[in-house]
Amino acid sequence: MELDYLNAFLGYGDFRNADFLLLSKHEGANNNLLSSEIKVRTDRFGVEEEYWLDKNNRLNGYWHPDVRQVHKFVNQEAGLSPENVRTAFVVLYPARVLLALEEAFEKNSIENIDNWFKRNEQLKGEYADRYKELLENIYTYNQSTNWKAALAHYQPLPRKSGTWPYSEFNKEKYENVFGKAAKPEDPYILKLKKNREEILANLLKNYPKKVIFSTGNINKEDDTDALREFFRREFNASFDSFNHELRTVFGEYEYNGTKTLIVHTHAFANGGGLKLNELCMITKEIYRRLIKEPTTIVK
């Protein structure tokens, strides 16, 4: 396994110009095609210098410009025909957030935010059309919103959620290192995490974001999760206490004059993750914080 390249692969979209970074726990993958999943990310994605964080070294971070091509290339690598794949929640849900924020800033109001978080069959007219359009180009260089978005992952090993297909690593040790900063750490996996975090830190220092929306990485009220520790260490970020109503921790930092809002929360939808109504409330809180309006949520 080309672990150095896999660890350097950031994700999808225009990372240099994105205002909104969706940072998930780990990338999903088809475990039955895992060798093809890995080979595509290490050998076919980000081979052009245009998609390197450091133009002199691909191993310092690289990405692919279009998330829609993942399954196509994986199937090609595996010798299979293209197939229709269900759109992932890391596409479906952030698209709603981006569209809701765009309209809120255009109208200087949150009054229409609820319209973006209705069930699919309830989305009508322009709301349905714009949502459908964005699903076709989110996390690409041609995204159809004012704010561009990129999709990255905190952990480097792709896999189906809730599974562990890697015999090379002990699952518990890996998840301790990438999950809870206070847990005993395996030296090799710790080195892997440090390198991964260096790449993420360089990305965010060179190309600051307005909002970092982190999903699936939170340890609820446990203040020792590794990702919070990363933002504190690299950016001196401050975090609120856990918000029980929204099941979220909000944080912020300023780097070289640019302020960044961190939304540190649960995964989307399945398995007890965020539902549309919760995401709607979180989006309203993002807007309030970005315009510095007094918060109305319960802490």
- Kindly report, residue by residue over 225-236, the tens digit of the pLDDT: 889 999 999 999
Both tokens of 20, joined, read 């909104």
Are residues 212 and 263 in contact, defined by beta-carbon separation less than 8 angstroms? yes
Q: Does pLDDT of 217 surpass 90?
A: no
Confidence of residue 216 (pLDDT cuts 50, 70, 90): confident
| Mean pLDDT to the nearest integer, 102-122 | 95
Amino acid 284: pLDDT: 97
Distance CA 47, CA 68 (A): 17
Q: Does pLDDT of 222 surpass 80?
A: no
Share of the chain above pLDDT 70, in %: 92
Q: 140: helix, coil or strand?
A: strand
For residue 264, what are the CA distances in angstroms to 44, 86, 147, 209?
31, 25, 20, 15
Both tokens of 66, joined, read 């279009």
Q: Does pLDDT of 107 surpass 90?
A: yes
Q: Does pLDDT of 194 surpass 60?
A: yes
Query: Mind listing the pLDDT tens digit for each residue in 117-161?
Result: 999 999 999 999 999 999 999 999 999 999 999 999 999 999 998
Share of the chain above pLDDT 90, in %: 76
Least Cα distance to 262 among 238, 288, 293 occurs for 238
| Mean pLDDT to the nearest integer, 165-171 | 92
| Mean pLDDT to the nearest integer, 10-19 | 97
Least Cα distance to 93 among 291, 239, 266 occurs for 266
Distance CA 286, CA 282 (A): 6
Between residues 101 and 2, the one the model is more confident about: 101
Determine which of 6-20, 51-65, 77-91, 216-230 has the lowest per-residue pLDDT on average: 216-230
* List of E strands, 101-235: 149-153, 211-215
Rg of the chain over CA atoms, in angstroms?
19
Distance CA 91, CA 71 (A): 14
Amino acid 269: pLDDT: 67
Q: Does pLDDT of 182 surpass 80?
A: no
Amino acid 298: pLDDT: 39
Q: Does pLDDT of 52 surpass 60?
A: yes
Distance CA 34, CA 248 (A): 32
The residues facing 21 across adjacent strands are 150, 212
Q: Does pLDDT of 20 surpass 60?
A: yes
In terms of C-beta density within 10 A (0-12 exposed, 13-18 middle, 19 or more buried), how is residue 95 classed?
Answer: buried
Determine which of 40-49, 109-118, 187-196, 263-272 has the lowest per-residue pLDDT on average: 263-272
